[in-house]
Amino acid sequence: MGYEEELQSEREYVAGLYARLDAERARVKAAYRSALGGTGETAMERDNEVRARHREMKRLNVADYGLCFGRLDSADGDVSYIGRIGLLDEKNDFEPVLLDWRAPAARPFYTATGAHPEGMSRRRQFLTRRRALTGFTDEVFGRLGEEQGDVALLEALNAPRGEGMRDIVATIQAEQDAIIRLDHPGVLVIEGGPGTGKTVVALHRVAYLMYTQRERMERHGVLVVGPNPAFLDHIGRVLPSLGESDVVFTTTGGLLPGLSVTAEDAPEVARLKGSLKMVDVLKAAVVDRQRLPVEPIPITMKDVVVQITPDVAEWARQEARDSGLPHNEARAVFREIVTYVLTERAIGRIGKGWMSRSDKQAWEDMRSGLVKDLSDDEAFIGALDALWPVLTPFELLGELYSTPERLAAAGGDPSLHRADGEAWTVSDVPLLDELHDLLGRDGAEQAADQAATAERQAEARYAAEVLDSLINRADHMDDEDHLFATDMLFAEDLAERFEDHDQRTLVERALADRGWTYRHVVVDEAQELSEMDWRVLMRRCPGRSFTVVGDLAQRRSAAGARSWDEVLQPYVPGRWEYRSLTVNYRTPAEIMAVAARVLAEFAPDVRAPESVRSNGVQPWARQISAAELPAAIEEFTREEAALEGTSVVIGPPGVPGTVPPAQTKGLEYDSVLVVAPERILAGPRGAAELYVALTRATQRLGVLHHDPLPAALSGLATTVTT
């Protein structure tokens, strides 16, 4: 059979898959509508049915384009088609007509080679446009000269970039597949230089884990942490395109519900705030608010004046601290001790001469009255607030920053002082989160929890009484008696009262709940995270299941990681694995040669990733005057707008019309114009930032400079404007 005949045969098969997909989608959609209007089931059953059908609809919808992207022929003659999702033939013992790319049987599609065919005779890769099959390429294992290589991969790499990262499900390479499917329950570190695909590999690993560990993952979901909102927008379509939506995307500045910040501190301040030493500073700041009175505090009770003396307060303070409770919750212990002493002293004076300590009932009756009086006594409440105040993380940290005396008392560095204590930065978020644990719930939160507990207990008692009543009626019925239908309906309604009717999605619930824990966490650009950032993330994932993505050579943060071992050993000793990616799939060899010289300037021991392709387009540099810069940027933008794809102008902070290198980390563009590389180099971690800027391009790179071109860029073809 010739190529055209085979192509037509494959088109017919793929068309049949789409017909099956459309039929399945229609069936699930009808079942979803039926579930929405269902009657007779309990609320829980209806809700579960609706959610299940909705998940299935989303799974089917992601496969609308690129449903099937390849085929495997085994040496035994068996044929398997590989795609985004799995489809079964219900009329033929549910035989698979399309294998999900994550299924074990699909793995040879990514890993088989001529040297190690893994029982396969041929791999066929489909070239598609939307639903249309436009062609295919074959790799025939074991026949010299018939392996055509990665045609599909090169086509994908050379295609113009869109507005967001695309999945690589059709072109996963063997080294990537090994990482995606790695069976490791702890922390996996994926390190690679620019363009090695570490981010997209991590996201496909999440999709694989959610496929193989569905029950474990789906109730708590996955957290993905990225460096900035633009990066999250860029990668946000990958997992939904693979059928996975129970994923929360955020930055470290958004890890605390109700607070989202992007402002950054100066490097030295960020380094101080990111250090684990801040835990001791925060603890000291809390302890500093647990005060003793300088002079006894008088409290009037039944016309008798008693005092909160320093020794009483010290006893109460020690008992509260020894309780091990967070500060706000330990206030109850402090209050209990002080109340006990005050009431004992008051009763002794009030009852002097007529009440004996041995008359326990009278003594306790009087104590109850005095305790009730104290609960509304403004002087007593004011004394408690002065000695053991209820604190919020925002209040305590804001006052710590804005009050030099409090900062000094807590052992904080003076450079942490700022006039507006609550001008929050990204580095403050882990400190505020730490304080949530140190302080515990405030009064309003405790009251709400107590009210919710009381309501649940009341509902449980009510349900028990009603159900007991129904059971007793049934036990005492004569043969002619019967339970009324209204009784059964009432019992059903009663059961529904105790079901969870929270209709929010998992993502919505997780984002609103600081105490939410995830089954897996992905940390991208992880080299930028501080020690305090890691404490927050470890609290969010008690199971310590992480995929950590980064490149130590690209670190720009003064508080960031210098060694993966230093970061991870305190939390997962012996439970983390390291894998590296060495092939650059993004950057053409012509551009990578320039970037590699910059890398050698600041990280001589780090080897630049090897580009998988060359496009024949040489990067260029042009020297211009400051007055010519706006026109040059405008010219670049106009020319790129006429081409297909994306472009960006990257420059040092403050240059109009440019984006700082830090805001482009993890992103990619068809064309990049780097402005004033000499000024980028002059900044903190300047060489690393220039390296980032140079490696964003997938096709074309240009450089505009005013001062002489830095030595590391001397290989660029240059022109001079006179």
Using one digit for the tens of pLDDT, what is the confidence trace for 416-443? 999 999 999 999 999 999 999 999 987 6
Average pLDDT over residues 232-248: 89
Q: Is 146 a residue whose pLDDT tops 50?
A: no
Average pLDDT over residues 261-274: 95
pLDDT tens per residue, range 528-563: 999 999 999 999 999 999 999 999 988 988 899 999
- Give yes or no for a contact between 404 and 413, defined as CB atoms under 8 angstroms apart: no
Distance CA 653, CA 636 (A): 19
Counting every residue, how long is the chain?
A: 722
Q: Which of 36-50, 68-82, 461-475 has the highest mean pLDDT?
A: 68-82
Q: What confidence category does residue 338 fall into, taking pLDDT thresholds of 50, 70 and 90?
A: very high
Burial class (CB in 10 A: 0-12, 13-18, 19+), 622: middle
Given this model, what pLDDT does residue 521 score? Answer: 98
Which pair of structure tokens corresponds to residue 505? 């999605």
Q: What is the pTM of this model?
A: 0.84
Binding site membership for ATP: which residues? 192-199
Q: What confidence category does residue 525 fall into, taking pLDDT thresholds of 50, 70 and 90?
A: very high
**In the 8-state DSSP scheme, what is residue 91?**
T
Q: Within 10 Å of residue 707's Cβ, how many Cβ atoms?
A: 11
Q: What is the DSSP string of 101-114?
A: TTSGGGTHHHH--S
**pLDDT higher for 142 or 318?**
318
Given this model, what pLDDT does residue 483 score? Answer: 43
Q: Is 173 a residue whose pLDDT tops 70?
A: yes
Which pair of structure tokens corresponds to residue 125? 């890769």
Average pLDDT over residues 279-290: 98
Distance CA 617, CA 587 (A): 12
Given this model, what pLDDT does residue 58 score? Answer: 76
Given this model, what pLDDT does residue 486 score? Answer: 43
Which of 424, 447, 443 minimizes the C-alpha distance to 258?
A: 424
Given this model, what pLDDT does residue 384 score? Answer: 97
Burial class (CB in 10 A: 0-12, 13-18, 19+), 67: buried
Q: Within 10 Å of residue 162's Cβ, how many Cβ atoms?
A: 12
Which of 88, 180, 171 minimizes the C-alpha distance to 127?
A: 171
Binding site membership: which residues? 192-199
